[in-house]
Amino acid sequence: MFDPASGHPYPDGHHADGTPAPHALLAPVRGLLGTWRGTGRGEYPTLDEEFTYEQEVTFSHDGRPFLRYESRAWLTDAEGHPLRPSARESGWWRLQPDGRVEALITQPTGIAEIAVGHAADGTVDLATHEVALTPTAKQVDATRRRYTLAGPATLTFAHDLAAVGVPLRHHLAARLVRGETAL
């Protein structure tokens, strides 16, 4: 199957009813397919104050039993105007027959995570299995991420973080809506 728009013989699918058809193991996460964008708030004890941000997350597939994951965020001021780029991640979520999820998530700041969890009832809950750091990356010990479909067009995101000597605690929360914006 050749996709003339992208020039690729095996295009990524962004919708559950599109081409290629999602693999059967993607059933627990089909509702995530597509691009989501919205706003959030963050905090952490090592930061001077809380912050606001915008986030865009895209989940796609190529017909095999895993999702391609892309996320980018940028800090915003009190009026919602962009200030500067913030977090960026990419990776793969491997779905298993019993709804287990194995996620590989990398960040340009030198952090690579392997997270494991479960997908069921519109929620994916992932927790750190292992973290690898480049020599100059900040210390990250663990994370927990929860993606919850709060409706057909709403996705909530929560991220807990254990880093730089602080135990696992709340870091980010966002409300995203389904959109057509591509990364």
The model's pLDDT over 90-147, given as tens digits with 9 standing for 90+, comes to 999 999 999 999 999 999 999 999 999 999 999 999 999 999 999 999 999 999 999 9
Query: Mean pLDDT over residues 51-56, rounded?
Result: 97
Q: What is the pLDDT, as a whole number, of residue 152?
A: 86
CA 103 to chain CA centroid, nearest Å: 10
Per-residue pLDDT at 149 exceeds 60: yes
Question: Percent of the chain at pLDDT above 70?
Answer: 91
Q: What is the pLDDT, as a whole number, of residue 9?
A: 58
**In this structure, are residues 171 and 44 in contact, taking their beta carbons and an 8 Å threshold?**
yes
Q: Round to whole Å and give the CA distance between 121 and 27.
A: 11
Q: What is the pTM of this model?
A: 0.90
Q: What is the pLDDT, as a whole number, of residue 11?
A: 66
| Residue among 159, 128, 131 at smallest CA distance from 146 | 159
Q: What is the pLDDT, as a whole number, of residue 2?
A: 45
